[in-house]
Amino acid sequence: MAESNVPRWPGLVGTLASLAGIGVAGYLTYEHFTGSHSLVCSDHGGINCLAVTTSQYSKVLGIPVALLGLIYFVVMLVLQLPQMWDRAEPLIRRARVGWAVVGLVSVVYLLYTELFRIDAICLWCTGVHVLTFIVFVSTVLATLNTEDPLYEGPPGRQR
Amino acid sequence: MPNDPQPPRGKPKKSGASPPAGKSPGNRTPGNRPPGKGPAGGKPAGNRSAPSGSASNRSAASGSASNRSSANRKFTERQAAKQQAARAARQARNRTLGIASIVIVVVIVAVLIVVKIGGGGGGNSNSSVSSPAAGTPVTAAITKHLTSVPLSTLAAAPTSGVASAPGAIKDAKLTADGKPELLFIGAEFCPICATERWAMYVALSKFGTFSPAPGRLHSAVRDGDIPTITFYGTKYTSRYLTFTPVETTTNEPDGNYYVTLQTPTPTEQKIWESHTDQSFPFLDFAGKEDLTTAQFDPSLLEQGVTFDQIAADVGNNSTTVGGDIDASAKVLIQTICSKMTGAKPATVCRAVGNG
């Protein structure tokens, strides 16, 4: 197995942020499937989790966004484990960066819907968005820190 | 460098086996050799001296080999330098891309927030959730539940929560398609309409059918955000009456008001204005009675109650919401039976005491 020259902090940051993301997204998923009766959040004015989590934008192709968030962080947790950062295979690096980009694009879309379509902000969702951003930044910076990031070299050569 | 092929140590190659000058020896990969490092043996070939007492031709051959080694070394160094420069360029490019991507994300988020605060971008601080004008489909199970509440349940609904009821008017008889007409003028943003539609749907389902079934939406967020259904995009068919819904706006804000959806005909507008100051909802029961508000308190549905919860409560008189919707539906059925259909169908009207 090829060893990378990545420092330890990205794995630690990514793992912790992913674990926190699983916690928050898991909570929102639970609330989604149990009618949001116990959702701890303001439900009036600009901060209104219920308006967001029960809006028409709370599902994508019939799948709850909260569940998609949970799946996202579970996959990201695997990719962020320090053992995975120790592996220098380009496929793993690309999967990690690509998955982080997917998360961030989703966050921008969801932020747009909150601000301009739902007209309400969900604090729990914002927490998920911040965690996604942290994972993205740490992933990008750490990947850049490695020698020759994402470069496989000419065909037939092994790094 | 384990995969860097080297000639056997201490065995100078024969001239015939040497690679041509200017060509990398063997399959050596220049990039794998650190720059400045000499050929095999770790000793610069140029310093290699010929054995003492050798013949002059051997000395000449040795000098020729030394020149070739020097050329090879320079070539290797040049290649390594090129390789390193290319790697540095790639790293610089990736670093720029990565940092630029982070900056772009931050800028996008900042722009979204600034536009939002500035009130631009098609929304403002009082904007609301927009829905498809015809709402989103309601599941078959919920539709069946709402359209098949037992008449006995409606008849038994407690009326303690019903605060308003249709009142008599003296207009010309309102008809359409040869049948008495129930005119509804409402708006999808309107929370009072959102409240009353639940009872209307339950009641009208006893006299006919909607096709397609009404979609689900909610009143505007700034106006209660009450889950409800919409009659826009549906067609009601009944042997006993004609139902004419006019949903004048969507729940999507347009400046200080909402996006226009349907416009009443001049006749409908005239009737509407004659009984209200163009407020919502307005129900005209064949010109004999009208209803200009919800029959029960809309705030009951403003407390974060979901569409599914309200739907589940319908037909359950032991819940406040369910009891109020059922009782309101009963009143509507009684009014339709007594003022519009001549107590038909008998099974329906008799069940609620108007047969």
Residue B33: predicted pLDDT? 38
Residue A35: predicted pLDDT? 65
Residue B282: predicted pLDDT? 97
Give CA separation, B92 vs A152, B123, B142, in Å: 16, 41, 59
Of A56, A141, A151, the CB nearest to B129: A56
Residue B201 pLDDT class (50, 70, 90 cuts): very high
pLDDT tens, position by position, B3-20: 333 433 333 333 333 333
Per-chain mean pLDDT for chain B: 81
Residue A51 to residue B225, Cβ atoms within 8 A = yes
pLDDT tens, position by position, A10-51: 788 889 999 999 999 999 999 888 766 677 876 555 677 877
Residue B127 to residue A46, Cβ atoms within 8 A = no
The token pair that represents B330 in the structure block? 């009963």
Residue B113 in this model has a pLDDT that exceeds 70: yes
Residue B243 in this model has a pLDDT that exceeds 80: yes
Of A116, A143, A157, the CB nearest to B121: A116
pLDDT tens, position by position, B62-73: 666 777 788 888
Residue B346: predicted pLDDT? 95
Among A85-99, B207-221, B333-347, the range with the most confident prediction by mean pLDDT is: B333-347
Of A46, A119, A141, the CB nearest to B129: A119
Residue A148: predicted pLDDT? 53
**DSSP characters over B123-138:** --TT------TT-BPP
Of A35, A51, A111, the CB nearest to B309: A35
* Residue-range domain boundaries for chain A: 9-145
Q: What is the ipTM of this complex?
A: 0.74
Residues of B in contact with A10 (CB under 8 A): none
From A94-108, B105-119, B240-254, the region with the lowest mean pLDDT: B105-119
Contact status, residue A52 vs residue A114, Cβ threshold 8 Å: yes
Residues of B in contact with A151 (CB under 8 A): 87, 90, 94
Burial A63-94 (b: 16+ CB within 10 A, else e): ebbbbbbbebbebbbebbeeebbbebeeeebe
Residue B129 to residue A54, Cβ atoms within 8 A = no
CA distance A87 to chain B (A): 19
Of A104, A149, A150, the CB nearest to B105: A104
Q: Which residue of A has its CA nearest to B217?
A: A56
* Residue-range domain boundaries for chain B: 15-102, 140-351
∠ CA A56-A59-A62, rounded to 5° = 115
Residue A117 to residue B306, Cβ atoms within 8 A = no
Residue B29 in this model has a pLDDT that exceeds 80: no
- CATH for A9-145 is 1.20.1440.130
For residues B193 and B226, give the distance between their C-alpha atoms in angstroms, rounded to a whole number: 10
Residue A20: predicted pLDDT? 95
Question: Which of A7, A16, A27, A19 has its CA nearest to residue A125?
Answer: A27
For residues B343 and B169, give the distance between their C-alpha atoms in angstroms, rounded to a whole number: 19
Chain B stretch 142-201, residues whose beta carbon is closer than 8 A to a beta carbon of chain A: none
> Of residues B111 and B207, which shows the higher confidence score?
B207
Residues of B in contact with A150 (CB under 8 A): 94
pLDDT tens, position by position, A69-83: 999 999 999 999 888
Nearby residues of A43 by Cβ (< 8 Å), 6 or more positions away: A49, A50, A51, B304
> Of residues A6 and B36, which shows the higher confidence score?
A6
Residue B182 pLDDT class (50, 70, 90 cuts): very high
Residue A115 to residue B113, Cβ atoms within 8 A = yes
Residue B98 to residue A119, Cβ atoms within 8 A = no
Q: Which residue of B has its CA nearest to A136?
A: B102
Residues of B in contact with A149 (CB under 8 A): 91, 94, 98
- What does the pLDDT average to over B44-71? 58
CA distance A116 to chain B (A): 6
- Of chain B, the percentage scoring pLDDT greater than 90 comes to 50
Interface test with A, best of B27, B28, B112 (most A CBs within 10 A): B112
Residue B99: predicted pLDDT? 83
Burial B154-168 (b: 16+ CB within 10 A, else e): bbebebebbebebee
Of B87, B101, B123, the CB nearest to A140: B101
Residues of A in contact with B94 (CB under 8 A): 143-144, 149-151
Residue A5 pLDDT class (50, 70, 90 cuts): low
Residue B192 pLDDT class (50, 70, 90 cuts): very high
Residues of A in contact with B99 (CB under 8 A): 140, 144
